[in-house]
Amino acid sequence: MVTMPRYEYLDSSAKEENPTIIIGKNILLKIIKDEKKQVLLSDPIVKEFVSIPNLPNNSIGLMVDQLIDQDVYLDTPPLLRNIIANKDRFEQSMKEMEVFMKLFQPLIDSRFAKGYEEVIKFEEEKAKGMAEDKELIQDLFFRVKGQVDEKFVRTYEENLLSISEKFEEKTGVKIIVPSNLFVCPKCKARLWDKEIDDKKCLSCNSPINQSNIKRIPVYRVQEGIKSIWKSGLWFESYLAGCLNKLGYTTWTGVHVMGASGILHEIDVVAIKGGTLVVGECKTGKVSRNDVFNFYTKIGDTKAHFSIFAFIASFPDPETRDFVKRNPAIIRLENMGNRDAPEVLSELEQGLQTKA
C-alpha cells in the first residue's frame, strides 16, 4: 500500500524554493532556502562527494584534509612556504623574542626610549610619503608574492595526484579537476583574481590580458568541495542523504520560521508523511551551548524527531545524559570512528521510536 504524504504546500503565490508546508493538522512550516548553498550542492562532483557512504569516517576525512593541504601549498607564496617549512624554528624564535622583550622592558620604559619615540613620530610624514610611493609598494607586493616556481608546483601536484589516487581507490570518487595557475608574463608573480579583473599586475604594473597571461595547467581540488568541506555543509548534506535513503524529503542549510515567529537556522529539515525531523550537524568540537541552542530550535519548530549528528562526541557525560532523557532525540555520536551501515540502522531505529 502506498501511503500518501500528509503534508502539502500552501500559498501557491509563494516562491517554489521557499515553500510553506503544512504538516498534519498542527504544524505550519515556512522554509527559506539559501540559494548559494543550493547552487553549491547541485554541482555533480559535489553531489557524488557527499554521497560517499563512509564520508564522515576519520580515515576519509584525513585524506580530504591532506588533499586540500596540498592544494593550498600550490598557491602559497615562497615567503609563507618557508615559514611553514621552518614552523618549529619560527615558533621557537618568536618565543625567544618574547623573552628578549621582557628582559629589555626596563630599557624600553626609560626616558631616553620615550624620547626616541617622539623622534619616530616626527618622521611620520616620511612614512606617509613611503606608503604613497608606487615603486616601493610594487617591490613589497613582489616580495610578498614571490615568483612562481614551476618545479615546485609540480612537486605539490604530484603529491596531490598520489593522494587523489588513493582517495579514488577507497571511495570511487575523483575530487580533483584540471585547472590553471595564472602568472604575470613579465615578473612571474602569481596573479590574484583582483589583478586579473583589473588587468594589471600589482608587482610590476604591466598590463595583463587573456592573451599575454601565463597559464600553468595543474590539477586542483574542485572549488565546491573545498568550500563545503571548510563550512561543514558536506556533513549536513550527508545526513540529508541518509534521510533520503529512509524515504524522507529533505532540505539542507535552511532557515525555518518557528512557532514564536523567530527564524532558526536548521542544518537539516526532513519530512515523511506527517513527521517532521530537524537535524544539527557538528564536524568539530561540540559545546554545551551548541546542544542547548538546538534544544530551543527543536521546541520552537515542534519537530517530532530531532538528530544530533557529531563527528566527535558530546562535550561531557552530563550533557549526553540530559539529551538521553528525551527519546525523540536521536544521538549519532562519534561518526568519525564508525561505519555507515551501523549509523544508518541506528538512525532508522531512532526514527521508529514513539515520541
Q: From CA 258, how far away is CA 62, in angstroms rounded?
A: 37
CB of residue 205 to Zn ion, shortest distance in Å: 7
**80 vs 196 by CB, closer to Zn ion:** 196
Percentages helix, strand, coil for the chain (3-state, rounded to 5) are 50, 20, 30
Other CB atoms within 10 Å distance of the CB of residue 125: 9
**201 vs 286 by CB, closer to Zn ion:** 201
**170 vs 200 by CB, closer to Zn ion:** 200
CB of residue 157 to Zn ion, shortest distance in Å: 23
CB of residue 133 to Zn ion, shortest distance in Å: 18
CB of residue 71 to Zn ion, shortest distance in Å: 24
CB of residue 81 to Zn ion, shortest distance in Å: 19
CB of residue 76 to Zn ion, shortest distance in Å: 18
From start to end of the chain, where are the E strands?
7-9, 20-23, 27-32, 176-183, 214-221, 249-257, 263-272, 275-282, 305-310, 329-332
Q: For 99, what's the count of Cα atoms within 13 Å in the CB-facing half-sphere?
A: 6
83 sits in which H/E element: helix 78-85
**196 vs 344 by CB, closer to Zn ion:** 196
3-state secondary structure (DSSP) of residue 260: coil
Phi/psi-derived region of residue 273, left when phi > 0, alpha when psi is between -120 and 50, beta in every other case: left
**For residues 243 and 25, is the Cβ–Cβ distance under 8 A?**
no
**55 vs 208 by CB, closer to Zn ion:** 208
Footprint of Zn ion on this chain (CB under 5 A)?
184, 186-187, 201, 203-204
**32 vs 204 by CB, closer to Zn ion:** 204
Phi first, then psi, for residue 328 (nearest 5°) are: -85, 0
